[in-house]
Amino acid sequence: MPQEILLPVTDPRIVTELDALAKRYRGAAGPVMQVLGFVGGSAETLLNRLPAPVRSGLEGATERALTTALGAASRSRHVVGDRPDWVNRALTTAMGAAGGFGGLAGSAAELPFTVTMLLRAIQGIAAEHGFDPDSEEVRIECLRVFASAGPLEKDDGTDMGFFAAKMTVTGQGLNRLVAKVAPKLAAVLGQKLAAQTAPVLGAVAGAAVNYAFTSYYQEVAHVHFGLKRLAVDSREDEGLLREELVARMTRR
């Protein structure tokens, strides 16, 4: 069958929405970069600060944290309702302060709780945009937010967060996605760990780092689910809207 040719988006309302989403995505990493200046680090050197055993075990720890967080975040939504973005930032900031106060050991112990809080915040944003976080499909979409380039990486917008192939919505599919997301998120969390254990700064650095990372993933989630909502409301092809969004994100 001949491949369908999709024409560029020209509807002024959709164009305005896409421009706003692209601007939001480009600005998402701003708070993290400010924190890097605060703790005196850089994306290239942060991971080297961690002891070798911590670096080698980070991927497995991240995969376990993601698997646990998927269940815990979903269950918590039936006990405590979704909260505004600022409340989630405040909670993870407090966790970061507690972890940073305890040094590397405290920060490592805090990590799974922060991952759960981040995933819970992403689920809340999905619900805000009209999607059901309890559905397997939306749970997969929440994981894909973690698959976006980390806040310390240069992102051309073409990574798995936006262009992941459609996966079968089953437990096996979810597990495969966790395994794919874990290595990328592990690198990001390793940078977070190193930054929040900055000498002397301790709890202050931990609080600042968690605030910045939470802000980043919240912004990415708003872009991710905002695009999906735009596709539903406008009845435009979601793949076409993704391409239009990426073109705007990479425009100089």
Nearest to 180 by CA among 222, 144, 156: 144
d(CA 164, CA 166): 6
pLDDT in tens, 18-28: 999 988 888 88
pLDDT number for residue 37: 66
Residue 113 has pLDDT above 60, yes or no: yes
Cβ count near 149 (within 10 Å): 18
Q: 14 is written with which tokens?
A: 């959709």
Single-letter amino acid code for the residue at 231? A
* Per-residue pLDDT tens over the stretch 65-109: 888 888 887 787 777 777 788 888 888 888 888 887 777 888 888
- Residue 150 has a pLDDT of 58
The whole-number pLDDT of residue 3 equals 46
Q: Which residues lie below 8 Å from residue 147, measured CB to CB, with a gap of 6+?
A: 159, 160, 161, 164, 177, 180, 181, 184, 185
Residue 87 three-state SS:
helix
**Which pLDDT value is given to residue 1?**
44
162 or 187, higher pLDDT? 187
* Predicted pLDDT at 110: 85
How many whole angstroms separate alpha carbon 240 and alpha carbon 228? Answer: 11
Could you state, in order of their start, the residue ranges of all structural domains in the chain?
48-222
Quick one: angle between helices 171-196 and 52-77, nearest 10? 120
Percent of the chain with pLDDT over 70: 79
In this predicted structure, what is the pLDDT of residue 230?
93
114-159 confidence digits (pLDDT tens): 888 888 999 999 999 999 988 888 888 888 888 775 555 555 454 5
pLDDT confidence band for 38 (50 / 70 / 90): low
Average pLDDT, stretch 42-63? 78
3-state SS string for 161-221? HHHCCCCCCCHHHHHHHHHHHHHHHHHHHHHHHHHHCCCCCCHHHHHHHHHHHHHHHHHHH
Round the CA-based radius of gyration of the chain to a whole number and report it: 18
pLDDT of residue 165: 45
Q: Which band of pLDDT confidence, cut at 50, 70 and 90, is reported for residue 164?
A: very low
41: enclosing H helix or E strand:
none
Q: Which residue has the tokens 């692209």?
A: 22
Amino acid at 39: V
pLDDT of residue 2: 45
Q: Which residues contact 79 (CB under 8 A, 6 or more apart)?
A: none
Q: Tell me what pLDDT residue 174 has.
A: 73
pLDDT, residue 108, reads 83
Higher pLDDT, 89 or 40: 89
pLDDT tens, 202-249?
788 788 888 888 898 899 999 999 999 999 999 888 888 888 888 887
